[in-house]
Structure formats: structure tokens, C-alpha cells
Amino acid sequence: MTGDGAARRRATLLDVATRSGVSAGTVSKVLNGRGQLREETRKRVLQAAQDLDFHIGPSAGNRRAQRSFAVGLLTTDSIGRFSIPALMGAEEALGAGRISVLLADTRGDPFRERHYLEVMAERNIDGLIVMGRRCDPRPPVVGPRELPTIYALAPSANPADVSVVPDNAQGARLAIEHLIATGRTRIAHVTGPRDHLAAQVRADVTVEALGAAGLDLAGGRVHYGAWSEEWGRQAAHIVMRAEEGCDAISCGNDQIGRGVADALREMGWRVPEDVALVGFDNWAVMAASCRPPLTTVDMNLTELGRQAATLLLHAIEGHPEPGVHELPCQLVVRESTGPSAPRPI
């Protein structure tokens, strides 16, 4: 996503800052002749600007001189399990370029959201990252003025906006293809609420990927429920009754996976010998403490945060990349999908 942009874009003020080892604010001061700076610093910045063939044109100069080198990070997720790694990735990518991050948590409350958008506008931020909790699209933010804005995790409902989200479909496909590759053929799917887009997408892809391999969903239907261990425990009973010989269960998240693992053990089924299990999220404490440790899909949320920051910097520099950018997931293999027991002949 960034390679293409880097090839065509000219050196930016940030590049000069990185090369000269000072903050973007200092570069701005040098190039605009503002502030008190050591002569040595001034020379280093000017040299770096020359090396990179960077110069502030008349119009760009006006715009850049007004920059605050601070961006807003608006999170709507007071729980934080998904937004925090992404937030840390964004903070890292921005901090390395010495862009300050202004943090605000709206707790999903539209009044708080409006309040914080005003506060941030007063701060004259250069841009905004809006970080959601669920994958369902959200209405675009409406602040006191137009700002370069990136939506992360929850995409904007307006396709002209810039959004970056995990590729749920590709992630779900990884899980199913791994189960098939390890020889499982009677695969059930237990997931969260039917009205959550993430649950729907993962379930649809599961059915589709099984079909592509000439397989049907074990038990004949997707088991929608809650994102909880309790639902996982209940569902394990339902699944094992519905499909004799079920040899794998793909779970919509790690909590469900863990509940399924506990219930299977208590029913006397061995994981992975009798039934293989895959989760989703790679929530370390949940997946690694599962008995046995759970194979799962990692959404690379820290990287997603970094990409959001990179897209924001491009947008601030005048190169927005509109549309929904999907970031690939990766499979983390643990014991729950080890070899199956030999079939009785």
C-alpha cells in the first residue's frame, strides 16, 4: 500500500526531519525562519532539505507553515481490546516522525464525539484517525472543519473516505483452508451474533471455502450466538449432537474457541486428535491459555494502526488514498490443529 505512494511522491517535510534527526516542528521553524535555533541545527536541516531536493513552494509554504504537527486519535472503544493495539501502532508510526498524538475516547457517545472534535479543531490538529470497535461501517465524523481523516477498524460508510480494516474474509479463508489441509472434512462453524458484520463475513466465507473443496458445513448450518466462552460451551454440545463424526470446529473468536475446547474435554473428546479447533483474534491470553493452546487468526492490529498513520500522513501531505484498504490477516498455528487420530478401519 505504501510502496506505490513512496515511489511517486516527492520528499516531505517529515523526510527532512527524519534525515536531520530533529522534529518536524524544528524543520518547519528553520524553513520558515521562525524561532530560536542553534546554528548547527539550522545547517543540518538545510543540508538535509537540499539533499532530498525538498523546498517549500509558495502555496505549500503557506499551508505547511500553519501545520501543528499534532494529529487527533479518536477512539470509540472504551473496552480497548481491539483498538489499543491499533492505537499503539499508530502512535508508534507517528511518534517516530515526531508527530504528537492527541487522544480522546468517545465511548461510542455522539455528544462526546462532537465535543472532542471541537476541542481538537481548537488545537488546530493536522488530521484525525477515527478508530472503531466493530467492523460494521460507521457514519463519517462531522467536525467544525474538514480535516484529513482516516477510519481504522470500523470503515466510514462513505466510500470516498479513507478506511483501513482487517481482511476478515481472507482471515476466515486461512482458518478453513488450514483445517482442510490437515485432513479435516466434517467442519462446523460457531460464531457471534448474526447482526455483526464480522460474524456474517466469516461465516459466509467459511461456507464458500468448504464448498470450493467439495465439502458441506457440518451440522448443516452456521451456529450464531454470542462472542463468549459460555456460548462456546453450549455450542459444542449442540454441534457434537448435530453431526456425528464432526472432526473440526471453526470458531468466530478465541473466547468461543476456548469455551468449545473446555466443553469438548469435559464430554470426553480429545482436541486435536478427535476434533480440531481454530479461533479468531489471536487474543494472546485467551488463545495461549486454552487447553490445548488454540490455533487462531491474527488481524495484525498493530500493523493496521501503523498503516492508518501512514495513510493519514499521505492525506495530510495532499495525497489521500480513498477507499477501504483491507489488511491481510495471518494464521497462528498452535496445538489445537495438530494431527488427527488415525481413523478406525
Q: What residues make contact with its own copies under the rule CB under 8 A?
A: 23, 25-26, 70, 73, 78, 80, 84, 87-88, 91-92, 95, 98, 100-105, 115-116, 119-120, 122-123, 228-230, 255, 259, 262, 285-286, 289
Tell me which residue of 131, 149, 135 sits closest to 252, measured CA to CA: 135
Q: What angle (nearest 5°) sits at the alpha carbon of residue 282, between those of residues 229 and 291? A: 55
The bridge status of strand 296-298 relative to strand 330-332 is antiparallel
Find the shortest distance in angstroms from Cβ 61 to its own copies.
21
Whether residue 327 contacts residue 303, with contact meaning beta carbons closer than 8 Å, is answered with yes
| Closer to its own copies by Cβ: residue 70 or 333 | 70
Find the shortest distance in angstroms from Cβ 131 to its own copies.
12
- Distance CA(42)–CA(110), nearest Å, equals 45
- According to DSSP, residue 10 is labeled P
| Closer to its own copies by Cβ: residue 228 or 340 | 228
Is 117 strand, coil or helix?
Answer: helix
Find the shortest distance in angstroms from Cβ 113 to its own copies.
12
- According to DSSP, residue 219 is labeled T
Find the shortest distance in angstroms from Cβ 274 to its own copies.
18
| Closer to its own copies by Cβ: residue 151 or 283 | 283
Residue type, 294: L
| Closer to its own copies by Cβ: residue 99 or 276 | 99
Find the shortest distance in angstroms from Cβ 233 to its own copies.
9
CB-based contacts of 163, cutoff 8 Å, min separation 6: 150, 151, 152, 155, 156, 323, 324, 325
| Closer to its own copies by Cβ: residue 46 or 102 | 102
Give buried/exposed letters for 297-309 (b at 16+ CB in 10 A, else e): bbbbbbbbbbbbb
Find the shortest distance in angstroms from Cβ 251 to its own copies.
15
Compute φ and ψ for 158, nearest 5 degrees.
-90, 115
| Closer to its own copies by Cβ: residue 102 or 215 | 102
